[in-house]
Structure 1
């Protein structure tokens, strides 16, 4: 039987959905992971036929393990990954082994934010930017304030910092230099406007837009997306601009096969790119699209890899909203209450709680610190959002400090 080897997986989200999709497509599945806990919770992964512990940061070890699986008789059709950390290595290794692969060079261009900005420099949807070199003692600022300061390798809002003053700019640059001593720093103009995300699949050089999702962004210490809204119809001007933008991104980066998503803001009647990532969005995005439009984007991405034209035509016509929850204090999780009440709210389709008992929770400094979500659907966007937020208001994370028990901290449903 044909097999797929997956590099890395989260305990939930699109990377998990992709392995489940592979099973539905008739593949046996092998997961190479560096998370020891997964092997101890093997029953949590019934869709994984073979799980192997390996250092995913060591390309030689990964390749050795894949070749070992092949020598044992596993009929490996491809090496794939739906996680940011391993998508490039999966594509590189699959190409080296003569198997279907996502365009390696395009992944590399998208993952380095400075290289990506250079690729998009002349594009109408790009934003003004500058590069602060690693070893320049006094950073100069040539852009108008406010600005956004980034590490070129940041993901999930980590190391993405807002600066409204010269002193904030200098402080953020110093902080990133301390963390990444030999790395340059990317500085971009801050663009106001409604934020969106577009999911796309590239098949034989042709771009297929799977979803345009409006985002609700909460600005605290980081830019954290706490709400996603999908609707059955998109204004034609926005849809046309997005189609032109993603097609141009595909051409400029050289993407021929694979999936990518672009975050952008609709500003001044046009798109302005925030970032591009060479994979499906993580967390609940695949589930959200399936609830809204009736197709599984992870499955369509795998089908495309093996030559089938992706079918991303909507089957449903409902408005769907996902509301994410964070905490406003740090502590160890004692318990979560309100799940049943949340599920009973009319229109709610899914309630997911990520952390386990005794996990240490913190306020969000990255997208990975969102600890639960609720997905709801309705006939209108307003109704879907109201249902999701009502359900989310019932969910409470009860925390204790590291030394003494105290009143539980309540999960804060952040609003834009």
Structure 2
């Protein structure tokens, strides 16, 4: 049967409806269990379309009636894989003793996502063929590494990538999800939140976060994307008092004289690309969730932690570029999460973030454990040597994880 399968590039005009139908078939979970469904508004390429380079492949049966039985998506971009420490740490310039900051080491990395094979055509090697064909394209694009993300309990996916495709377990970030309630969340009076212009947000990220693992070289394209709802800075109100209201001095001025504590986060509107829906919930669960929402709407001042209506298509906000400094940085992040929650009120069902397991600011991100994932497994593979600056740090796939990681919202 495998010999009758052809792998080719996705053609939007003739493949869209068949690809959607096949993908829906793959999302059907076990009978009686709740399952999370994703609706991409009729655009199967939406999850990679905003990347610098992307490709979608389909596996199609031969014969008079052609059927799409598999698909896969991939994208390529340049990201930080390490940092270079200047050798002349004790440089003397104009009579001043300076410590040069580390500079990022970039490499081209490919991302695999959305691998699907029809339930009726599994165990025929179709998934393996799709992965290998996509990797060939990655190499042509100059990618040195490829990686993919999957649920740590997805044994079939892990077995394919680590057992047959040569990938190794690389990182295990946590996905933290918090519901959007019917009431607004108050921002602590001691914290003030400012919205940064896109140009200033870009310069702040490049100056302060560019050595973070997976930091995208084209951060400007992400921040200026219509789905990016803004970058927000949290500062202590005490900094705005005294000599008048504190004003954003620009990135250079801010980093030259930083506040004792501050935090920053950017917000991405996933609802502009896809909608989520939980199916398979019992009437009892639906009724209990409805009761919490009704009570929350009727008595908003009580701030009842209600369950949003996740049993119908709902949108989500994603927090990315989370960072900050100082003893109160986690509290500042918590305030930014509350601000993002209020932005999503009425339009989004949840607010989500993905961070490294050992991220210091993680304790400031509110989340419901039942909605979150403690470990989102990333597997990686080195495709070739010498394509980018990544060779300067050896084999990145063998490097230990850092404290922080930058998750690109375009790849959700």
TM-score of Structure 1 vs Structure 2, range by shorter chain: under 0.3
Tell me: higher relative CO, structure 1 or 2? Use CA pairs within 8 A at least 6 residues apart: 2
State TM-score, norm by structure 1.
Answer: 0.24
Normalising by structure 2, we get a TM-score of: 0.24
